[in-house]
Homo-oligomer: A and B are copies of this chain.
Amino acid sequence: MKILIVGGTGTIGKKIVEAFKTKHEVIIAGRNSGDINVDLTDKTSIIKMYEELKEVDACICTAGTGFYGDYYAMTEEDLMIGIKGKMLGQMNLVLIGKKYISKEGSFTLTSGIAAEHPAKNGTAVATINGAINSFVLASAQELKNDIKINVVSPGLVEDSFERYGDFFPGYNLAPMKKIVNAYILSVEGAINGKILKVFS
């Protein structure tokens, strides 16, 4: 398969790239890195990327920005960081991308545990993750040409623990192996419209 991994140089992305590249052709997309550049906040950049690639069998997105910070100081501008950078970004990757994905291909998006178990200061991120989960449930019913779509919702990512662990006291680590498996299940399995929760 020809697999596009948007965010393929990130914490989750690079582990997925490792796993898929043994059996598949992997194209890494990143804002300033990877094989091809894409800015998720810019529709024309997404269109340009797909036009260059022509057709892919699977599109995985592990990229997305969001706002963490004091609830009482949070503004609409803070909310828009995640709405544009993750929610609309991942949605556009599907809505624009659906004509570039081959028959029986797939999309795999990334939300997160915050949709159901938000951390302190994480309201903006929780909201975006909840939106992506529901978008995937709905999109699975709409996509034609037997294209599937799932979303991986990881807990506190094992490899992010040093950087973000302090923000999530008491959250169990989601092992990288399990997170990677969720993306493999979505791309190579038969499932469609599933929220793959990698947390306990």
Report chain B residues within 8 Å CB of A75: 95
Contact B127 A142 (CB under 8 A): no
**Chain A 110-154 interface mask (CB, 8 Å, partner B; 1/0):** 000011111010110011111111110111011110000000000
Report chain B residues within 8 Å CB of A164: none
In the complex, A126 Cα to B88 Cα: how many Å?
14
In the complex, A91 Cα to B126 Cα: how many Å?
13
A166 within 8 A of B: no
In the complex, A72 Cα to B127 Cα: how many Å?
25
Within 8 A of B (CB), among A70-124: 71-72, 74-76, 79, 83, 87-88, 91-92, 95, 98, 114-118, 120, 122-123
CB distance from A126 to the nearest CB of B (A): 4
- Report the count of interface residues on A (CB-CB < 8 A): 39
A15 within 8 A of B: no
A-B contacts, 14 listed (Cβ < 8 Å): A43-B76, A71-B139, A71-B143, A72-B98, A83-B88, A87-B131, A91-B127, A117-B137, A118-B134, A122-B138, A123-B139, A130-B130, A130-B131, A130-B134
